[in-house]
Amino acid sequence: MMKTDTRKINFGAGPAMLPPEVLLQASQAVLDYNQSGMSILEIPHRGQLCRDMIDECTALVKELCGIGDDFHVIWQQGGGRQQFCMIPLNFLRPDATAGFLISGHWSKEAMEYAHFYGNVNEVASSEPMKFNCLPAIPVDFSQELAYLHYTTNNTIFGTQWHDIPQSGAVPLIADMSSDILSSERDYSRFSLFYAVAQKNLGAAGNCLVAIRKDFLDRQVSAKLPPSFDFKAQVAERSVLNTANAFAIYVTLLMLKWIKAKGISSINADNKLKSSILYRSIDDSPSFVPYVANKAHRSNMNVCFFPVNPDVEARFNILCKQNNITGIAGHRSAGGYRVSLYNAISIQNVQLLSEIIASI
């Protein structure tokens, strides 16, 4: 086991820090999965061990999200971008239009991918404000849309939709990659939601997709290659191709960790962590927050800028001395970005805030 005193405090946006107990159990499973005499890397994906593991993971997601048998849950390997393709392939006719709320890089990329398959409508966008706030949704947007897609948390610029947008009769689809299971949310409001695992749910190489059954019935194309066909993936129960058993297992461990803590306590901790950090930035003469509107600020990714290169140099040195890593802003945004996913402790955030206050 990695010594805790040498372990870095990783505020990276994903792959993100995992709890030590999850890392320990995952490493034990690499040597011997559940006393099966086989490594998790060796178990057959269609065998009972893997089947039971995937079923447990699916049941736990349904329980934690409060969704029942009206949803299918599947596990996919191609990350967020695979879903940017699969969703329009399955639910957007070439002559139909999908709506998008553009609050950052990833929502825009999802729209650009959808445009390969059908028409897209930018219902609202905060791009003119360089994504430093959420866009205002027009009350009278078209109800003729095949679906409305948005990104619940803007990983790169640090905004978050704390309330679920009203979409009227239009099916609502959400990319929840950077804030799934970080707070209480009515997941039943969505026709489809998805989340890559490498932030709040474990390791890269696994993506949760939950699809309402009556929405899947509306699938528009009957002629899709099985790998990109949600119905085929559902029918094969996530093992259409060789499943990434290890990544799914890490998600299972994370889900158990989340369940043991409880979503309401995770939510309270996340709010506390972000308030500690924002307060130190707001109070500091040396840093400016990227998102001024407090109601739009993300509890998951906090973005800020140093006021001059001297501050930047001193901050970088202090972070290095304190074993802190992963705080550089995204290459398209610059500055700093601190990610406060579920596994980041309050103590880690307090340490960073004290460093900010000391500059």
Residues forming the site for ligand PMP (CB under 6 A): 14, 79-81, 106, 151, 155, 175, 177-178, 196
Q: Which is nearer to ligand PMP, 81 or 271 (CB)?
A: 81
Residue 343 CB, shortest distance to ligand PMP, in Å, is 16
| Of 75, 161, 179, 199, catalytic | 199
| Of 75, 106, 161, 257, catalytic | 106
Q: Are 176 and 148 in contact (CB under 8 A)?
A: no
Q: Which is nearer to ligand PMP, 243 or 356 (CB)?
A: 243
Q: Which is nearer to ligand PMP, 280 or 339 (CB)?
A: 339
Q: Which tokens is 108 given?
A: 């825009």
Residue 53 CB, shortest distance to ligand PMP, in Å, is 22
Find the radius of gyration of the CA atoms of the chain. Answer: 21
Listing DSSP states for 5-59 in one string gives TT--EE--SSS----HHHHHHHHHHHH-GGGSSS-TTTS-TTSHHHHHHHHHHHH
Residue nearest to ligand PMP (CB): 79
- Distances from the Cα of 99 to the Cα of 116, 141, 143, 148, 343, angstroms: 14, 9, 10, 5, 33
Residue 26 CB, shortest distance to ligand PMP, in Å, is 19
Q: Which is nearer to ligand PMP, 194 or 315 (CB)?
A: 194
Q: In sequence order, what are the residues at sequence separation of 6 or more whose Cβ sits closer than 8 angstroms to the Cβ of residue 187?
A: 65, 66, 67, 193, 210
Active site residue 257: no
Helix axes 48-65, 245-261, angle to 10 degrees: 40
Active site residue 213: no
Active site residue 199: yes
Residue 91 CB, shortest distance to ligand PMP, in Å, is 18
Task: Give the chain's largest Cα–Cα span.
Answer: 61
| Of 62, 75, 175, 273, catalytic | 175
Residue 185 CB, shortest distance to ligand PMP, in Å, is 15
Q: Which is nearer to ligand PMP, 104 or 289 (CB)?
A: 104
Strands 336-339 and 301-306: antiparallel
Residues with a known catalytic role:
106, 175, 199
